[in-house]
Structure 1
Amino acid sequence: MTGRQPTLDEVAERAGVSRGTVSRVLNNRQHVSAKARRAVEQAIDDLGYVPSVAARSLASARRGAVVLAISSDDPALFANQFFAQVIAGVNTVMEDTDLHLMLILAATERGRERLERVLQSRGADGVMLLALRENDPLVKVAEAGKVPVVYGGQPLERAPRFYVDADNRGGARSAVEYLISTGREHIATITGPQDQQVGVARYLGYREALALAGLDARRVAHGDFSQESGARAMTELLDRHGDLDAVFVASDAMAAGALEALSAAGRTVPDDVAVVGFNDIVTAQHTTPTLTTVRQPIEALGREMTRMLLRAINEDTPTPLILPTELVLRDSA
């Protein structure tokens, strides 16, 4: 090609790849297949493309780190099986990069200020957000950082540009539909926090399944995803709704607490009360009885969040992703 300088878009079109892939090849970034790299190099030769020194300098000005910011101030959070599996998934992808991972607990003003300092000092290439609550100020801090932001789960207020989530609503609906199919009619729920999208979505799935079956959806108690809150909520439900014959619990940790409360009340599981949880953490296989639950791909959530962030950092345009869930039948229902 003679005359004018070919554009990056023309190189991408000639190679049959995205503009972001061309940028990664030009800057010798990872996460480019050998086939794509060869196609880009051939397109550059064919078109006579000469990359701008200034443009390459700007594109390669990476900070060398990404942040996983969690809207929690509990240091014990990293012992939580859900978050531990998410972090394991994140780490699996990060191991194949030259980037460092920073973990920040950012539910408090101090934690948010720490993230703000990192972003203002241009100390990170991108941010992943997890466990957000309604109108969470962490969102404003992250979005003001002028770097790509990927959400683990959608915030309640809006659908962001980049997010990875599980089918929480559909998974909850399938759990309650299964309970209905086994002849249960007085089905209660223990919800997660209603200021978090995940808690709201699972509650909506419960309500939808009962509405479609023409059953009462007013046997409700609220928890905070902890085992202790599950036990308290189950005791509350037994006091208010002694006729219940099943309960859908919005997390396995709360379901473990519910099983303890049912045992203390002399109710057998599943004969008197069937119990279904959500997540399929390791605990679900070791409760008494073992827990029927909705499996969400927790490690995959961490992996896909990280892959999406890397693509966004490299100027690709990833689309939001909803991961499937599945019902795992064990002894509690």
Structure 2
Amino acid sequence: MPAAGKDTVPAKRLPTLEDVAARAGVSRATASRVVNADPRVGNLARTAVQEAIEQLGYRPNRNARSLVRPEADSIAVVVPEAEQTVFSDPFFAALLAAITQSLADSPVQVLLAMGQPGNSQKIERYLRGGYTDGAIVVSHHKDDHIWQVLHATKLPAVYVGRPYAGDVGIPYVDVDNRAGGTLAAEHLISTGRRRIGTITGPLDMAASEDRMLGWQQALQQAGLAADLMEHGDFTASSGALAMQRLLNRVPELDGLFVASDLMAVSAIHELQAAGRRVPEEVAVVGFDNTQAAQLTRPPLTTVVNPVGALASTAVEMLLKLLGGSQVEERVILGTELIQRASA
């Protein structure tokens, strides 16, 4: 029992909606409408409530649920990409399937949150609303500020792929993309190719930049030009257009590293349409080792992106965070080259 006349320190409690309303200077009803994304709330009140939520670290739904049930109920897979990109790219399909499979024996429900790159307000509102217990964030772009929302809400989260912003204080699992780019370039060099180009992914993403740097490093070490470069955005159409631009610039091109299998398949089609034989005249290496790599003609030599291991590691890390345990700040998985007929 505390000594008489001494102030006692109150036990730390979770912030309530009333606390948010008081901090923002609005009614509880207005604060509730902001939390539930009611469009009828004025901009001034909305901003005040959102700032109060950040300052207090208020997370309504999870706090309420924890009073009666401590275990996690759902996690969100957050993909700041357009719906068309998510549903057409085999990497995303494989990753989502692997995450779901990793939680097949768990009571945790998997939710999908998508939004345009650089315009993630919808995702941010969702995360602030407390509708999920944790998040796995995939495909981080330079202009995404989702990590700031995760910090403000104290929502347990793991990134798949190194965040472009660097050390943002959120753990991540990634493949060694730079080593993968080096593997691809070294293989092309070993087959005697000397005019080796690359089609990158969007350079506002760490994975694209790392794959390009790995390719560049290998060519420079071999004394070859490392400036034969065109940029795509990981879509099939961007791969085709980049291939056309590269052929126009460098008709004598004899080797090509493409930062994703989906773009590489389109690049092969463009090469064949231009009368260039693969691999006799131009050897091609992709990245991901998706099913598409085995279906193209000729089958695609590619660098493995270990989707299953990325997914299971991210799930394991997030479940540990939800259970109150610490995890490694970063986990980097190795890769390898799968040689097929295209190179």
Both structures adopt the same fold (TM-score exceeding 0.5): yes
Gaps of 5+ in 2: 1-65
Shift of 1:318: 1.4
Q: 2:161 aligns with which of 128, 153, 156?
A: 153
SS in 2 for 1:318: coil
Q: Is the 8 A contact 1:143 1:149 kept in 2?
A: no
Q: Partner letter of residue 170 of structure 1?
A: A
Q: Does 1:129 align with 2:137?
A: yes
Please give the residue correspondences for 1:3-42 in structure 2 after superposition, counting only pairs within 5 Å: none
Q: Which residue of 1 is the match for residue 198 of structure 2?
A: 189
The 1:220–1:330 alpha-carbon spacing in structure 2 relative to 1, beyond 3 Å, is same
Shift of 1:110: 8.2
Q: Is the 8 A contact 1:116 1:142 kept in 2?
A: no
Q: Which residue of 2 is the match for residue 291 of structure 1?
A: 300
Q: Which residue of 1 is the match for residue 334 of structure 2?
A: 324
TM-score, structure 2 as length reference:
0.76
Query: Could you list the per-position Cα deviations for residues 153-186 of structure 1 after superposition, in whole angstroms to 9, with x for gaps in the alignment?
Result: 0111113431011111101101100111111111
Q: Which residue of 2 is the match for residue 61 of structure 1?
A: 70
The 1:196–1:234 alpha-carbon spacing in structure 2 relative to 1, beyond 3 Å, is same
Q: 2:315 aligns with which of 301, 306, 311?
A: 306
| Alignment length (residue pairs) | 276
The 1:182–1:76 alpha-carbon spacing in structure 2 relative to 1, beyond 3 Å, is closer
Q: Partner letter of residue 235 of structure 1?
A: Q
SS in 2 for 1:144: helix
Please give the residue correspondences for 1:213-292 in structure 2 after superposition, counting only pairs within 5 Å: 213-292=222-301
Task: Determine the C-alpha separation between the residues in 2 that align with 1:323 and 1:59.
Answer: 38
Query: Could you list the per-position Cα deviations for residues 169-224 of structure 1 after superposition, in whole angstroms to 9, with x for gaps in the alignment?
Result: 10110110011111111100000100011110100011110111111001111111
Q: Is the 8 A contact 2:253 2:282 kept in 1?
A: yes
Q: Partner letter of residue 152 of structure 1?
A: V
SS in 2 for 1:157: coil
Task: Determine the C-alpha separation between the residues in 2 that align with 1:110 and 1:228.
Answer: 22
Query: Could you list the per-position Cα deviations for residues 5-36 of structure 1 after superposition, in whole angstroms to 9, with x for gaps in the alignment?
Result: xxxxxxxxxxxxxxxxxxxxxxxxxxxxxxxx
Query: Could you list the per-position Cα deviations for residues 271-294 of structure 1 after superposition, in whole angstroms to 9, with x for gaps in the alignment?
Result: 110000000110100111110000
Q: 1:102 aligns with which of 111, 127, 139?
A: 111
Task: Determine the C-alpha separation between the residues in 2 that align with 1:112 and 1:300.
Answer: 30
Task: Determine the C-alpha separation between the residues in 2 that align with 1:114 and 1:238.
Answer: 39
Shift of 1:58: 6.6
Q: Is the 8 A contact 1:104 1:111 kept in 2?
A: no
Task: Determine the C-alpha separation between the residues in 2 that align with 1:131 and 1:242.
Answer: 33
Query: Could you list the per-position Cα deviations for residues 49-96 of structure 1 after superposition, in whole angstroms to 9, with x for gaps in the alignment?
Result: xxxxxxxx7795345111111011224523421111111111122112
Q: Which residue of 2 is the match for residue 140 of structure 1?
A: 148
SS in 2 for 1:203: helix
Shift of 1:144: 2.1
Shift of 1:109: 8.6
Gaps of 5+ in 1: 1-56
Query: Could you list the per-position Cα deviations for residues 220-274 of structure 1 after superposition, in whole angstroms to 9, with x for gaps in the alignment?
Result: 1111111111111111111111121100000001101110110111110111100
Shift of 1:138: 2.3
Shift of 1:108: 6.7
Q: Is the 8 A contact 1:106 1:138 kept in 2?
A: no
Task: Determine the C-alpha separation between the residues in 1 that align with 2:240 and 2:121.
Answer: 32
* Cα RMSD, aligned residues only: 1.9
The 1:109–1:263 alpha-carbon spacing in structure 2 relative to 1, beyond 3 Å, is closer
Q: Partner letter of residue 225 of structure 1?
A: F
Shift of 1:117: 3.7
